[in-house]
Chain A
């Protein structure tokens, strides 16, 4: 297909851009009002600095927010993404605009909504108002407020008792440098519903820096089973920010997986709030920075109700002069008795110049809980390396084998074959 893209990178990050976006989307006034309120919070919230505990190891001084522009029109055409994957639905978002959106009619018939947030705000305002921005409010931080002012995106709603068997896939891309995008996904699963959503951020290489400030809000209602996967494969010129929060209701089971392979500098907050008794959450993370990539993951296992279970495993491999931060908190509220919470972060350094910081935290305000955390940072064991080389593997092959083995227990826990395969390929590319 001929691609003739209208390039209108006109407006910088500003109040005009907020108004322009709202106009372009022709959204209800209450959405516009929300955006403007968020913009005000953004404006009066100071930029985080390394003086702030959360940003102590991630320096934003080189981030020039005024160098990015929003597209004020949807790109003309963009090659639709083909896929042989079995899936229930698919959406493609290009430079911040939804260019393709489809949902299996048999799924739609059961009342499942998969639409743009704008459409949802028009057609189902009561749903959007009930959930949007409640997990990631403006107070969450300066970037959350900015995203609340400028984001657009997708809404997935799975009604009571509806099981969506095949995953829904969302693909976000940026086509050029200098762009700012604010992707957002809102997922609501009602009682006894189930669904899987796989979201991927991807871009080809470009020269100038671009910015992505993403927001994900996932609500798993009573006895719901939701699975959410986020794969970040931006090119090396993207500043990536992500606020991804999960609310897990009574007896619900939520699994989330975050994979970080791309971007220049990435700061991701992944939080699970266990709000109903019997809620269960698995949080998996895999990251592999190389060269001068810098990844910062902050996680929260927020146990607000009794008898909940959360299990977090984040594993990272670092090459070259890359840098990673993992800071994880298990927070057990008063009254959240019989909490079972586990947190593990393991880091493998492939170079002397790479650095990983691992900061586990526990805050326990109940007296009948089981909590544990473990963290490790270390180089490849030279004896393991020698053992493999003594069998004829080159140093590179031996390292690759050790890295594959390091990630294996985590990869094994991903029940999605397509994700697993692409992940193994991506790790191979990182190793070569």
Chain B
């Protein structure tokens, strides 16, 4: 099976403290991978490090995207390649409308691929289509980016951005947190609608709840900065039942 992203022995420090301690993971094209882990296991560090946040210092290992080393790239270059992070806590940008921002982002990505900027009517049409999939009111496009958005609106806005940017690797960082069941269903439907043979989805989550709606092909368990075990969807249910302590005991992690 073809791999889109290969992470080998990744070590990442945050403020001089090692959080990821040799994490390895391979994402397959067209598949949904779930990484589950308890608080403090390094879930957010993994997503930020993959997206290229400057405060997450990679001290060892490699990350290959279609064979290309991405660790030397800035966040913008990674996004242009097709790596997308749906943020757990999206930033608000006052004074910048959602539509204006999305058009700039879409065209930045297109420019990096030597494609022409999208024509405004085409962009409008695409935006309206994707917003209706996510059951978002059209007035959303005119609102300032994440400014005054509710928790659910922010998550939907993240999925909308993902839909517009059509990434090759989509990382969802605790997208389910803070969502009520209706919002979770809508967001999950949005993610499912984006599944395609070219895109790998990486769902990073504490709970298996979202996995009831977005069925993973693989489940990986992250404990203390390493993937300690991997399996099929049944692993998520087993975790839910037995808890993370069970994993710790099973896969005694050296301190």
CA distance A383 to B54 in the complex (A): 10
CA distance A390 to B73 in the complex (A): 11
CB-based contact A387/B90 at 8 Å = yes
CA distance A386 to B144 in the complex (A): 17
CA distance A49 to B67 in the complex (A): 64
A386-B54, A408-B95 given as contacts; is B79 within 8 A of A401 (CB)?
no
Instruction: Tell me which of A389, A404, A408 has the highest count of chain B C-beta atoms within 10 A of its own C-beta.
Output: A389
CA distance A393 to B80 in the complex (A): 8
Task: Answer yes or no: B161 CB below 8 A from chain A CBs.
Answer: yes
Dominant secondary structure of chain A at its interface with chain B? helix
CB-based contact A391/B95 at 8 Å = no
A393-B76, A393-B104, A397-B104 given as contacts; is B91 within 8 A of A405 (CB)?
no
CA distance A391 to B53 in the complex (A): 12
Task: Answer yes or no: A81 CB below 8 A from chain B CBs.
Answer: no
For B96, give its contact among A392, A394, A408 (CB under 8 Å): A408
Closest CB in chain B relative to A346 CB, distance in Å: 11
CB-based contact B105/A393 at 8 Å = yes
For A409, give its contact among B54, B74, B76, B95 (CB under 8 Å): B95
CB-based contact A386/B79 at 8 Å = no
Residues 386-416 of chain A, each 1 if its beta carbon lies under 8 Å from chain B, else 0: 1111111111011001101111110000000
CA distance A394 to B75 in the complex (A): 9
Size category of the binding interface on chain B: 20 to 34
CA distance A397 to B161 in the complex (A): 17
User: With a CB–CB cut-off of 8 A, which chain B residues contact A391?
Assistant: 79, 101, 105, 108, 161, 165
Task: Answer yes or no: A384 CB below 8 A from chain B CBs.
Answer: yes
Closest CB in chain A relative to B37 CB, distance in Å: 22
CB-based contact B95/A405 at 8 Å = yes
CA distance A254 to B216 in the complex (A): 63
Query: Closest 8 interchain pairs by CB?
Result: A405-B95, A408-B95, A392-B79, A405-B96, A391-B105, A392-B108, A387-B91, A389-B75
Could you tell me which A residues sit within 8 Å of B by CB distance? 381-384, 386-395, 397-398, 401-402, 404-409
| Interface contacts beyond A387-B87, A393-B108: sample of 11 additional A-B pairs, CB < 8 Å, sorted by A | A384-B93, A386-B54, A388-B101, A390-B84, A390-B87, A392-B112, A395-B74, A401-B100, A402-B93, A406-B94, A409-B94
